[in-house]
Structure 1
């Protein structure tokens, strides 16, 4: 009997290990992890959302991104494609937020009613219904109005949480989630209850994390969600036009194919070959490739500006340290990770990351500030690299984390390359300088260099990164 148990145990370990390895290294579905063609355009428009306290200690909220997305929807004539990670109105009962979801839903329905022939496709993540635990009122309204809603099936993606997902692949994925929930909704206490099986699927920790709106006239690639509880977050987006729209549409077709075959239209635009600004779409692992390459290629006279919700990837951190040793000046504006949708957090990963960077050999070239957050998050995912010849921006949905940079989540970023004298580069540098110098408000605050990082917090951060059992 003991021998049979031993054989079964060995067989289990072999199958479990093989499952982990395969789903960690398997090929991605077609159309994932792409670097698009480089397109030349006259310029790119920077869009920002900012929440801050002015000199009179008043809370100011400036919304530009969602308002611009709404305007693009209203101006569309041929098609609208939206891919949005978070799109729900769920909040904690004691909190009030802007009603972004209700407003955007109404705009889409009105557009479909005014132009019944226009194609509207809305891709999103299953997190909005906690993997089928309940129905989304907004999704139902959109479907009833004729909008195609696709909750992305991410099972075909690689597993970012392999030790857990190995068990899930073997035993859990065959059981259908959904049904009447009975557990508290930890994402928002006003939302419906959640089933056990939905929570078990949630623990795979992977998502369609993209945030963009595409029409035949323009595309907006953003760091921000259309999501009530995110309504006060600070974010950055870029509005582009030209044939990069076709690259984005092709990428979204590939995402839709995880669920069903979908053929999206294309546009025809004659691009200006002498235009000053070059733009390129990057998705999934190609974002990590380009971020690392751009930081690695910096020299002594260059500068790196980073505005980020999460900075945790070891490769990126090593390149930042190496750049500092080359005497590249690096400016980091980071979220302190102490609040998420009104709930307190432990400061992971950014607090231990900052403590580590402060101890780097060339620490004097690494300048760090916290964004002065309240109940909101500093949610951008932007890298600006200044060179004498050509500046580079990489911005979109991807944080500088393993999950976001290396083919686990679905992510979309835009890479912008242009002279420092172009409007988009001037505007982006001005944005960073405004935050850094606290021009007109208390946007940022200095890092407390006297406080010591608790050892247990650093251990948890490194352990989470090693095991993959984390959201970053």
Structure 2
């Protein structure tokens, strides 16, 4: 009888939310789902953050090449700075040994404030995700300090993005439409803080906004120079203290693609800041002025020249265009093609299918995956990567496919990279987007760079990947598939769960 009641309640809620499902706004705002022309570049450099552990001695070697480059690019900027980062906070989750984590968030804020003091005429624009104030007023004090220094801070207006959580969003819409607001005490702080153990509790309103599970997930820095083209840094790095030991991959590029990236970021700042609740401090005029000034200092997108055929080239891909590019590159992979992937989260069914078909055509596939066992000091269950790895490794008898796991020790292997080398392909594709529905299906904001015929950059990545794959640096950086392989009932229930979470959006990946 109880089961029937729950079924009837679910059906009632589904019918009640039908208007939401039929009329939800799906159109993306300006600056998103972009697929640029191919551009030439004057300089490109692969950037890698690594944490390497010596199991015998307990020695840890950390390299923050991406973050150190970010600080240097801010210092050397001459005409403007745009910084757009997803996680930018001092929270350390359940990590107790705080002394082992570099204070990335504070360092980045201090670098921008120093730049404002040294160069008061340079427009500086900060864009970030409202998760960094936990969808309420829990922002760290340096956001107020940035605003106090005259640096506009825009918290992305996520309400203008489609909803990814198919289970929660319709119900939230229903109760918001039909339950009188006075019946809910949304200011009641009852919820333990999931991001900061010592932090204030969350209100019901904050929890409600968190459960939409959508984000500006980009990690982009664009800076302008007087005598050279602007420069853009794109990758998987977040300037959050809890992420300080994560391994990441990014690229720094000088050229027209940085101008294209700047226009995309300015569009996002423009429509987000139209909602003044998304602006830190009383800086609405400064935001408009910064956007207008930067637009005057970079050429229009329509004037950017296309790359010459055969020249090393780079293109900008964002949101759903990233998924399209992944599929197109994998669909070209045939016998004699080498496909290497380094990925934090892998669950998108269309990309899984593209890999299966590439393996069946004879492509040589290697995947270096995070085992999905750690998240800021909390233990995870291996979803989704272990189930997807098992699905691909089941083809080992008919194709050439190998999987290894990143050898992490509490941190995450946070890269998102595809490398394809064949008779017709020399591709390196990297950026912020995990290979999941939320990251690839026009739900989150994401940014990637596509390098083609970029032999030097590709060789740099190949050397990095081979070193991890073979543990060639004297440290154990990767583990054999068998170490975290799933089978039997454990594999079955995790496969069912990840497939449901992937479809529904009721998950954190």
Shared fold, TM over 0.5: yes
Mapping for residues 415-454 of structure 1, pairs under 5 Å = 415-419=450-454, 422-440=455-473, 441-448=475-482, 452-453=487-488, 454=490
Indicate yes or no: 2:256 matched with 1:243.
yes
Mapping for residues 385-424 of structure 1, pairs under 5 Å = 385-419=420-454, 422-424=455-457
Cα deviations by residue, 1:322-372 (Å, 9 ceiling, x for unpaired): 111111011100000000111111111111111222223756411100000
Structure 2 counterpart of 1:3? none
Structure 2 counterpart of 1:200? 208
Say if 2:186 and 2:204, in contact at 8 Å, map to a contact too.
no
User: Per the alignment, in what secondary structure is the counterpart of residue 415 of structure 1?
Assistant: strand
Structure 1 counterpart of 2:335? 300
Structure 1 CA distance for aligned equivalents of residues 486 and 134 of structure 2: 38
The structure in which a higher percent of residues are helix is 2
Structure 1 counterpart of 2:500? 463
CA distance 1:84–1:451, change in 2 (3 Å)? closer
Say if 2:193 and 2:200, in contact at 8 Å, map to a contact too.
yes
Say if 2:39 and 2:307, in contact at 8 Å, map to a contact too.
no
CA distance 1:204–1:9, change in 2 (3 Å)? closer
Question: Bigger CA drift: 373-382 or 390-399?
Answer: 390-399
- What is the alpha-carbon root mean square deviation over aligned residues? 2.5
1:141 to 137, 142, 145: 145
Structure 2 counterpart of 1:4? none
CA distance 1:276–1:368, change in 2 (3 Å)? same
Structure 2 counterpart of 1:328? 363
Say if 1:325 and 1:362, in contact at 8 Å, map to a contact too.
no
Say if 1:339 and 1:375, in contact at 8 Å, map to a contact too.
yes
Say if 1:223 and 1:381, in contact at 8 Å, map to a contact too.
yes
Say if 1:133 and 1:198, in contact at 8 Å, map to a contact too.
no
Structure 2 counterpart of 1:211? 219
How many residues matched? 462
Indicate yes or no: 2:115 matched with 1:99.
no
Runs of at least 5 residues in structure 2 that lack an aligned partner in the other structure: 1-8, 225-229, 275-287
Structure 1 CA distance for aligned equivalents of residues 349 and 185 of structure 2: 35
Structure 2 counterpart of 1:224? 237
The structural deviation recorded for 1:468 is 2.0
The structural deviation recorded for 1:272 is 7.7
2:171 to 167, 171, 174: 167
1:125 to 124, 129, 132: 129
CA distance 1:21–1:363, change in 2 (3 Å)? farther
The structural deviation recorded for 1:29 is 1.6
Question: Bigger CA drift: 268-277 or 399-408?
Answer: 268-277
Say if 1:330 and 1:367, in contact at 8 Å, map to a contact too.
yes
Say if 2:42 and 2:254, in contact at 8 Å, map to a contact too.
no
User: Per the alignment, in what secondary structure is the counterpart of residue 162 of structure 1?
Assistant: coil
Cα deviations by residue, 1:164-196 (Å, 9 ceiling, x for unpaired): 101223334997998573421112213332111
Structure 1 CA distance for aligned equivalents of residues 12 and 372 of structure 2: 42
